Structure 1
Amino acid sequence: MECTVLSPHYTAPEAWGQLLKKSLNLFWDDAIGISAESDAWSFACRLVEMGTGFVPWAGLSSEEIYQAVVKAKKLLPHYASVVGGGIPSDLWRMIGECLQFKPSKSDLLFKAASDYGSNSLSSLLEAQNADEQTALHLACRCGSAELVEAILEYEEANVDVLDKDGDPPLVYALAAGSPECVRSLIKRGANVRPQLRDGFGPSVAHVCAHHGQPECMRELLLAGADPNAVDDEGESILHRAVAKKSADCALVILENGGNGSIAILNPKNMS
């Protein structure tokens, strides 16, 4: 039976549904309603974490979080305490729109933006945590195509914004193995050809090959990524796929213009 694994620290009240009848770690698809609204709750939890540096409900067990969120209907412990502490109050009011115990079916991000203005929306989309990750980075890391789409609807969202390590959201989507997120980023104009680390590192296609994601690789190559790109050490994306024993990824590269002859020898092993 198919299931979705969620973290209790970021789980919306309605997503606990039949949780205790199943498992505190497995959320069965036919037992609960995972929706845009439950994603909005998780999204807001991530933003609170970004703004405070604290994981929501840190130190509590799954049962204790369940009691706090579902039974006592408590908001995140650090949500209210940061208002007035240098964080724009409107930003936290917007997050509050996503932390609804009985969310409506409306577009929560749109409602928040309409209620509190474009400046607050910009603050929300541009805010970065200690690792300089934005909301878009985090949505991609979770592989949440719905959240990525919602964020990218706004012009303020920077599709190529870099974290402290120089990684754009596209790298996070590739690591998550989400072709849907990759497709959304590309549609918005994400750069598929850059060398990371200020031009001295691997390409995004190398990252994809490293994680062995053939569907994501296909999206990159169809969007114009170089099938024969080499990193700063002379390793091609085909070398990377072969080294990671990802035959499916290697086949996608070859089918889209990759030079098979360069996979015979890896430059790293040549004297």
Structure 2
Amino acid sequence: MSTIVVLVKNVPDTWSKRTLEADFTLDREGVDRVLDEINEFALEQALRLRESNPDAGYRVVALSAGPAGGEEALRKALSMGADEAIQLSDDALAGSDLLGTAWALNNAINTIAGVALIVTGSASSDGSMGALPGVLAEYRQVPALTNLSALKVEGASITATRIDNHGTYELQAALPAVVSISDKADKPRFPNFKGIMAAKKAEIKKLSLAEIGVAPEQVGLSHAATAVTAAADRPERSQGDVIGASGAAEKIAEYLASENLI
């Protein structure tokens, strides 16, 4: 049996007010935490691959790394149809940067048998970096296909479509691989009542750093390779440029071209 691992993240609700701690890490206390919406798109693609390839016998495993008490994202993934959920949680992980987080996830994935594909969202709503799929693929020395709107498995390879401001691209890579899914992909399904009730009772497997062979000095804020040294509030939106009737079409076209929108 082959496994599709979907990385999911428990993030502050986008409607919650977000603040930073003194060390510039995101304050996650006192806010509602939910499954990151982009992960729902990623999970939907994984579930469709399982359904469209019944002979492959795929199982879908949702994997999350984060503080204790962050099981909401995993239970949502289970309610949507994931077969299994795993949470990597360890106090030493707190404040890990991109490299440390990717290294921990890489080693957690190594504990899962038969991994053929790793699926992520294009970028988390709380970090918005979008670099984790590439770093994870580098650690694992496998291809990375990113920012995808659709994908399908054909034998031992995966074909995918990417749509961005520059056009539409068809991509292909051999399995195993890492892929990231954008919000241009098909809309995620809603969990049904049976799935929700089953997810509430399901056991979530817990992993610590020791169990995946990662030393505390390889992760965490104090061992991060990168650091945030300053932060500022986003400035209020200013009034945009006003274009008069004379030459309006040309000016609008120039602006859209400069933003790679046409």
TM-score under structure 2 length normalisation: 0.32
Structure with larger RCO (C-alpha < 8 A, sep 6+): 2
TM-score normalised over the length of structure 1: 0.31
